[in-house]
Amino acid sequence: MSLDLKSLVRTIPDYPKPGILFRDITTLIEHPEGFKESVERLAAAHRGLGFTHVAGIEARGFIFGAGVAIALGVGFVPVRKRGKLPGTTIGQNYALEYGVDTIEIHADVLSDVHKVLIVDDLIATGGTAIAAVGLIRRTGAVCDHAAFAIDLPDLGGADKLRAEKVNVNALMAFEGH
């Protein structure tokens, strides 16, 4: 019998600002069976597809992504905010509500012989995930799959990723934002 993972996600109204329904995954990852099953389901959906790496997006994508990488037996690439990685990096800018931010990976980790699965906890507007896809593709690596614990379909991020020719898998969806 499989767990109802959605029931393990806490909703916090009006956080971080009024009108927002924050989907809090900490209650899911604090639940040993729920966390394990989440990682196993994400890995199972991508097993046998030839991935060489999982790229986890800072910060909660590290939590799920590392587990998925272990389950698939592949390397893990941290996608970090600018200035957080030592050594030579390559970056990708993306738009925020009020400005621009940058994500980075190590410049020497990926090339055209790699196939990368992007993992994050949640897909909302898709800005960070699309930037991660662009960043990984700039290395020559194939990046045509992304996996999330939660999709907020009303915000359109998964559809934007699909428009970039990325297969999107999410364990659960929550209406609203």
From CA 148, how far away is CA 172, in angstroms rounded?
A: 8
pLDDT band at 177 (very low <50, low <70, confident <90, very high): low
Active-site residue flag, 60? yes
Reply yes or no on whether the pLDDT at 12 is more than 70. yes
Active-site residue flag, 162? no
Beta strands 99-106 and 75-81: pairing type? antiparallel
Backbone conformation region of residue 130, classed left if phi is above 0, alpha if psi is from -120 to 50, else beta: alpha
Count CA within 13 A, CB hemisphere, residue 14.
1
pLDDT band at 148 (very low <50, low <70, confident <90, very high): very high
Burial of 97 from C-beta contacts in 10 A (0-12 / 13-18 / 19+): exposed
The arithmetic mean of pLDDT across residues 5-31, rounded, is 95
Domain ranges of the chain: 38-173
Tens digits of residue pLDDT in 111-134: 999 999 999 999 999 999 999 999
Quote the tokens at residue 105.
């990976």
pLDDT of residue 165: 98
Residue tagged active-site, from 23, 41, 60, 80: 60
pLDDT of residue 176: 72
The arithmetic mean of pLDDT across residues 70-96, rounded, is 96
pTM above 0.85, yes or no: yes
pLDDT of residue 96: 79
The CATH code that applies to domain 38-173 is 3.40.50.2020
Residue tagged active-site, from 40, 41, 82, 97: 97
Provide the percentage of residues in the chain whose pLDDT is more than 70: 99
pLDDT of residue 1: 60
